[in-house]
């Protein structure tokens, strides 16, 4: 090939490289087609004695050969570009596969941490429940002994220690993750899993109060009202 772009075509390796050379070849082809039109007109004039007919036809033949060569080269370059694009797509898929494998391993570690933290949370809940039962029993004894100033407001204690800022959920979160997040927040919020609202007609305690009304001894678990 005698095209000035032959060297660039020989160096082309990627689909983008081939596309760039094809764009240059297309420009050459358009120029050659325009040149052909001019040479055809020159041939017509030479037939009627205006110019050298042999030279005009020779130039037209050369132009046609150039057009044929450019079209063939563009076609070949187009095929190689398609092959390069397929190869790059396969490489991209392979790279994505490696990336996803790494993410899968990281996901496994995350779920392992979730399991560990949930088990840790359960143990903390068990410990808190045992302490709550002990305090609730002592509150009943304090009532019976008439020393209500020694009583502990379990609800106020829990709410005070579980108050604080809440991390915002990510903007894009799956429905299952949103449901799990809401469930976890119920453990921290008044009226939630650990803080049931009092029954209708029952006295409502002040959250900031240190004392609670006299009541009978109870073994109410973590969902106690006081």
Token pair in block for residue 120: 């840790």
Q: Is the model's pTM score more than 0.85? A: no
Give per-residue pLDDT as tens, 68-127: 999 999 999 999 999 999 999 999 999 999 999 999 999 999 999 999 999 999 999 999
Q: Contact at 8 Å (CB) between 28 and 1?
A: no
Number of Cβ within 10 Å of residue 185's Cβ equals 14
Query: Residue 5: what pLDDT?
Result: 79
Give per-residue pLDDT as tens, 84-99: 999 999 999 999 999 9
Query: Residue 47: what pLDDT?
Result: 86
Task: Tell me the C-alpha distance between 56 and 35, whole Å.
Answer: 12
Query: Residue 212: what pLDDT?
Result: 40
Q: Which of 138, 157, 148, 165 is nearest to 195 (CA)?
A: 157
């Amino acid at each position: 090939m005698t095209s000035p772009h032959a060297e660039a075509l020989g160096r082309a390796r990627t689909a983008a490289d081939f596309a760039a050379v094809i764009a240059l070849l297309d420009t050459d082809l358009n120029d050659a087609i325009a040149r052909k039109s001019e040479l055809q007109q020159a041939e017509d004039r030479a037939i009627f004695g205006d110019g050298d007919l042999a030279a005009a036809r020779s130039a037209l033949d050369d132009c046609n050969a150039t057009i044929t060569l450019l079209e063939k080269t563009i076609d070949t370059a187009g095929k190689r570009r398609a092959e390069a694009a397929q190869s790059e797509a396969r490489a991209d898929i392979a790279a994505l596969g490696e990336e996803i494998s790494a993410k899968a391993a990281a996901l496994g570690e995350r779920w392992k941490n979730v399991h560990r933290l949930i088990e840790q949370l359960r143990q903390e809940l068990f410990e808190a429940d045992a302490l709550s039962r002990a305090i609730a029993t002592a509150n009943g004894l304090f009532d019976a002994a008439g020393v209500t100033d020694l009583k502990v407001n379990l609800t106020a204690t829990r709410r005070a220690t579980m108050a604080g800022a809440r991390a915002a959920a990510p903007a894009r979160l799956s429905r299952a993750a949103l449901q799990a997040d809401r469930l976890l927040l119920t453990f921290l919020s008044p009226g939630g899993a650990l803080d049931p609202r009092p029954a209708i007609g029952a006295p409502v305690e002040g959250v900031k109060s240190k004392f609670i009304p006299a009541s009978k001894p109870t073994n109410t678990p973590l969902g106690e009202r006081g």
